[in-house]
Structure 1
Amino acid sequence: MKKTPFLTLEQVREIEKTYPTPYHIYDEKGIRDNIKRLQDAFSWNKGFKEYFAVKATPNPFLLEIFRDMGCGLDCSSYTELMMSEKLGVTGSDIMFSSNTTPVDEFVYASKLNATINLDDFTHIDFLEKCAGIPETISCRFNPGGIFTISNTIMDNPGDAKYGFTREQLFEGFRVLKQKGAKHFGIHSFLASNTTTNEYYPMLAKILFELAVELHDETGADIKFINLSGGIGIPYRPEQDPADIYEIAEGVRKAYEEILIPAGMDDVAIFTELGRFMTGPYGHLVTKAIHQKHIHKEYIGVDACAVNLMRPAMYGSYHHITVLGKEDRPLDHKYDVVGSLCENNDKFAVDRMLPEIENGDYLVIHDTGAHGFAMGYNYNGKLKSAELLLKEDGSVKMIRRAENPKDYFATFDFCDILA
């Protein structure tokens, strides 16, 4: 599959007149169309709701798109709850899924009447003491062991810090009922960034069977099953994307085989997708500013790991397009690097690209989730602007670039820049 940017060289040159590189830019039409596909794929379930994972791209202008299209928000911190409330998102439109949760976060989530998704058995008493047990509550399940989808895709729930064991979940439902909970949800997350179409149906089967057992043994009224996230995107051109329609059909079959015969045909299906919803619809646009010819060939760009840390942190692959040179041969081998005092500050290593000259614009693909959000300020570097390519083709700044005053604002001494 060829990766084609949603921006042209002409558009970037025009943007440069107002917003210098580097910047993250998001494709509004792409995001909206993807939300529509997800909702259409799961339309067989009357209660279906997507709770966009705020941590993936915590920008209120983007969150407003999800709100406008009937989605909820998945929050995991105090400030994410604040952002949601500011947008008018409260109550059951918020799923609060956190871990090692401080008191003030549970109190705030309770104040907003958010649906709280408990991560640990001990959090039941903790929540009761600080905020009370709500009538509707969810619990996160961790089955332990190794979760295997195929020979190449697996994850290790047994090594993850999240969730209740099976025994704790049954006891937790009983205890929560005694403390006043009336309606329940089940949540689980067993694999990350998988493009296989098998993951959600396999997870659904596990959770649907668990839901029937919980209902039968504890009498709990299970209102929803949250499949969480985990559906990934094809970062590499040779990867096939996940087919959300095939995924949803697999979940539907499991629903009809397990829940409907058990008389649980009113259970809503929730998702908490982040990367899948916005990842492909974000680019980091940067400019080549240096070339270095030593033991290897280097292209230095004006972005660095501060703007996108995934390659430095995980060795993750992000495809790169040199705008205006899309059809030229990939006959030059480069490391594409930033300016941090860290040797892992590399967007690409030994990447075959067309010949690059200073001033060329590079599009780094698939930065629409866990891109800007994971930014930091090492070396005193400042975070870039975020822009939105609107459906009408215009460009709107949705977060300005940081400046030195932002960097120094939290120091408790006289203004350095006064």
Structure 2
Amino acid sequence: MKKAFISKEQAEAIAREYPTPFYIYDEKGIRENARAVNKAFSWNKGFREYFAVKATPNPEILKVLLEEGCGFDCSSMAELVLSRAVGAKGADIMFSSNDTPVEEFVYAGELDSIINLDDLTHVDYFIENNIPFKETMCCRFNPGGVFKMSNGIMDNPGDSKYGMSEEQMAEAFTKMMEHGVKHFGIHAFLASNTVTNEYYPQLAGQLFELAIRLKEATGADITFINLSGGVGIPYTPDQTPNDIAVIGEGVHKKFDEIMVPAGLGDVAIFTEMGRYMMGPFGSLVTRAIHEKHIYKEYIGVDACAANLMRPAMYGSYHHITVLGKENEPCDHLYDVTGSLCENNDKFAIDRKLPKIDMGDLIYIHDAGAHGFAMGYNYNGRLWSSELLLQEDGSVRCIRRAQTMRDYFATFDELPVFNAIEDAIEESGQQ
């Protein structure tokens, strides 16, 4: 059974100051999890977790993770700017993007970040646009085909837009060495949200063997291997969570079996987790405001897919707790819906829950990664606030809720803007 990290009483007190819907994150949980990850890979002296900024791009969250020794994986100019703003510099930042504009590569270089190239053509792109190569560069690998694990997990690298073939990796390394690159990293992401302790060790084994072949083929000095993300979380209550200590030891075993005998025992291991680092430590809290009884039973809440799009976009399961009714029987069948003019705006379909009364607080679990970050403004719905439950039990606002004026701000150079301002005043909004 999943347990909320705030009680109904806490949520009601918070909602009096920060109206629903709101996101809330658990600082204590975030820190403890980051320390567990670092401990699991402490056998590797160069280990570092590069948190995927795209998962939760909030500066206060990034500060917490930076304090715990994490770096940041960025994929856009805004993510680079955000990482720099919270104090990350140099090797604190890994820049992994695709279809990248020149100015983003240039800025990543100015920050002295580690640049991870997605495609062989990007080498020529650097040359043609006079973008300086760094002494240390990385390339992303795509083995093609289908990545299948013994427990049935499968993903399809051959249908992915990311990464290079092995032959292209060798060509990229060789060409970059001709332009002054001295040290190389290998990066790959082959499966998403795996809830198994086997994924990282299996991936690591493939990448370790690739590193040996590339070193033999090119003579490149390979200094790190980035296992990227893909370590998932148990969204459903019946799933057994990953054990990061077991995962770390599994990678350790592969490292000792493959890398050490090949004379590559000093290669650093990087990870690049977003979901595992933050998913369970953030939740969306919303309130039941309508009920509807037609062919099904519906509960309407004041959040919508614009606040958390994963269920609508992917059909993803997010567990729901009705705060204050944790011990009541789940004997009612509901669709829990938002207000968007789209029929897929549903947080749950045919979900067994306790009887929900109007005004009840609905706690949507595991929204700490790819939750707020994927928000949007369809139907003019506004972004919620983001709050941090601090280690001392106090709550701090780390992003205020978007206002109507924020939403219309980019019309400020149009003649209609004054009329919009007047209409906002009439509506009683801000």
User: How far has the Cα of 1:151 moved from its partner?
Assistant: 4.9
Gap runs ≥5 in structure 2: 423-430
1:103/1:130 contact within 8 Å kept: no
Greater shift, 149-158 or 161-170, is seen at: 149-158
**1:146-295 alignment to 2 at 5 Å?**
146-295=146-295
| Deviations, residues 41-87 of structure 1 (Å, cap 9, x unaligned) | 00000000000000000000000001111110000000000011111
Distance 2:206 2:172 in 1: 18
1:140/1:186 contact within 8 Å kept: yes
1:106/1:130 contact within 8 Å kept: no
Gap runs ≥5 in structure 1: none
User: How far has the Cα of 1:213 moved from its partner?
Assistant: 1.2
Residue equivalent to 1:31: 30
1:135/1:180 contact within 8 Å kept: yes
Aligned partner of residue 88 in structure 2, secondary structure: coil
For 1:109, give the aligned amino acid: A
Distance 2:109 2:70 in 1: 20
Residue equivalent to 2:341: 341
Distance 2:364 2:84 in 1: 32
| Deviations, residues 365-408 of structure 1 (Å, cap 9, x unaligned) | 00000000000000000000000000000000000000111110
Distance 1:14 1:148 in 2: 48
Aligned partner of residue 190 in structure 2, secondary structure: coil
Residue equivalent to 2:421: 417
Distance 1:135 1:42 in 2: 26
Aligned: 1:42 with 2:41: yes
Distance 2:380 2:222 in 1: 49
1:97/1:118 contact within 8 Å kept: yes
User: How far has the Cα of 1:131 moved from its partner?
Assistant: 1.6
Aligned partner of residue 245 in structure 2, secondary structure: helix
Aligned: 1:18 with 2:17: yes
Residue equivalent to 2:427: none
Aligned partner of residue 417 in structure 1, secondary structure: helix
Aligned partner of residue 15 in structure 1, secondary structure: helix
For 2:233, give the aligned amino acid: I
Residue equivalent to 1:134: 134
Aligned partner of residue 72 in structure 2, secondary structure: strand
User: How far has the Cα of 1:10 moved from its partner?
Assistant: 0.8
User: How far has the Cα of 1:410 moved from its partner?
Assistant: 0.8
Distance 1:266 1:400 in 2: 45
Distance 2:18 2:134 in 1: 47
Aligned partner of residue 200 in structure 2, secondary structure: helix
For 2:377, give the aligned amino acid: N
1:297/1:334 contact within 8 Å kept: yes
Distance 2:214 2:68 in 1: 33
Aligned partner of residue 17 in structure 1, secondary structure: helix
Aligned partner of residue 333 in structure 2, secondary structure: strand
| Deviations, residues 318-337 of structure 1 (Å, cap 9, x unaligned) | 00000010000000000000
**Across the two proteins, how many residue pairs are aligned to each other?**
417
1:107/1:130 contact within 8 Å kept: no
User: How far has the Cα of 1:152 moved from its partner?
Assistant: 2.8
Q: Which of structure 1's runs of 4+ aligned residues deviate more than 2 A?
A: none
Residue equivalent to 1:332: 332
Distance 1:89 1:374 in 2: 23
Aligned partner of residue 288 in structure 2, secondary structure: strand
**1:42-61 alignment to 2 at 5 Å?**
42-61=41-60
User: How far has the Cα of 1:109 moved from its partner?
Assistant: 0.2
Aligned: 1:83 with 2:59: no
Distance 2:200 2:191 in 1: 9
Residue equivalent to 2:425: none
Distance 1:404 1:16 in 2: 20
Percent identity (aligned)? 65
User: How far has the Cα of 1:130 moved from its partner?
Assistant: 3.9
TM-score by length of 2: 0.96
**1:56-71 alignment to 2 at 5 Å?**
56-71=55-70
Greater shift, 372-381 or 85-94, is seen at: 85-94
Distance 1:151 1:228 in 2: 20
For 2:165, give the aligned amino acid: T
User: How far has the Cα of 1:150 moved from its partner?
Assistant: 2.9
